[in-house]
Amino acid sequence: MSFDGAKIARDFDLKNLPGEFYDDPYPTYRALREHAPVKCLSPNNVFLSRYADILAVYRNTEAFSSDKKAEFAPKYGEDSRLFRHHTTSLVFNDALYHTRVRRTIIGGLIPRALARLEPELVALVDRLLLEAEERGEIDAIADFAAAIPVEVIGDLLAVPDSDRAPLRGWSLAILGALEPVLSPEAFARGEEALAGFHAYLRDLVDDRRKNPGDAEHDVLTRLIQSDGEPLSDNELIENCVFLLNAGHETTSNLIGNAIELFARFPDQRTRLLADPNLLSTAIEEVLRYESSNQLGNRVTTCAVEVGGVSLPAGCFVTLGIGAANRDPEAFAWPDNFDIGRNPNRHLAFAAGAHQCAGMNLARLEGRIAIGRFLVRFPNYALADKPARARRARFRGFSSLPISLR
């Protein structure tokens, strides 16, 4: 069947995506870049697919706001937990609130602060790999990729080990409610997850106020003791939820996507095993080639032009991060998976003032998890067809069966 890019771009509807889009969105993104780079989805709602346009939006925080109140009120209802959470968390706000919370959090996420986590992270990864070796076959998501960030974020917030079991389920339910189409069932799951998480965190915050941890390492204590205007209890709780969600789903996807890509491209696996110094650039290429977070959102605060198209104030803008990271104007041979790609200025962690606060942590987890997995199991193979999580915003697998022998 021939590729009819013009028709694909014309028919593109983020709220009515065909099943094949979830398996491979990149032909659709190519069609949009070539035929409708500023695609009108509905009145006052556009989708951007070119790297240069999306980078310009990230850099212009005056004209493109991250505040989601206007977008999320009709989606969730202003009385819902989902609305209160997503309009209070760091990522969906502008300065000055965003600046104040980010400054407090990021001090605990710089490389120097994260160095203390490395020995524990190595021990965790090695324990998971030993358990995998004994079984001979694993689901690389449930048994490996998803287990790592939950433990790391639990350590950052000093959540007791015995309390961590529900964290992943809560995160998946809350983030699932961010999809372009929200079913009543997904809304109910998100509300239920937030109710459970909020109840747990209230007790945790109360205990941490009475028994502060080491603010150099305990991010919750850092938030409680932040300089300047203190965060309210609700702000504290919602940003702890945000930290789990931001650190869990995208990092799980990064690790799972890497394992699948090195099975799909064995030449690149062989190349990395022969030259372990390529590990850092390999992680960056995984982030570009299969971006864990595929979509972002902004709303215009004034009339502004992007990609040669005039947008009015109050226009909702969806940023096609996955499309930008395959743009041939920004990356030579963008559909080639090349672990030595340099430079690699991908947008998987966004850019500008809202660049991901946890990117150093995600890179650290990715390097340790993937580096040690490949050394331990250099000849692993897919045991069955992977199952894609049917999400447009977050790209990863719900199941990734791997044979280790």
Length of the chain as a residue count: 405
* Dist. CA 192–CA 177, nearest whole Å: 12
Tens-digit pLDDT profile for residues 351-390: 999 999 889 999 999 999 999 999 999 999 999 999 999 8
Tens-digit pLDDT profile for residues 107-118: 778 888 788 889
Give the H/E segment covering residue 207: helix 184-210
pLDDT of residue 346: 98
Contact present, 402 and 137 (Cβ < 8 Å): yes
Residues 6+ away with beta carbon under 8 Å from 311: 46, 300, 303, 304, 305, 317
pLDDT of residue 180: 93
Residue 2 has pLDDT above 70, yes or no: no
Annotated domain spans of the chain: 5-403
Contact present, 27 and 398 (Cβ < 8 Å): no
Angle separating helix axes 233-264 and 167-176, nearest 10 degrees: 90
Tens-digit pLDDT profile for residues 222-269: 888 877 778 888 888 998 898 888 788 889 999 999 999 999 999 999
* Dist. CA 87–CA 75, nearest whole Å: 12
Q: What is the mean pLDDT of the chain?
A: 94
- pTM attached to this predicted model: 0.94
User: Tokens for 58?
Assistant: 């990230």
| 5-403 under CATH 1.10.10.350, yes or no | no
Contact present, 157 and 240 (Cβ < 8 Å): yes
Tens-digit pLDDT profile for residues 140-186: 999 999 999 989 988 888 899 999 999 989 999 999 999 999 999 99
* Dist. CA 238–CA 194, nearest whole Å: 9
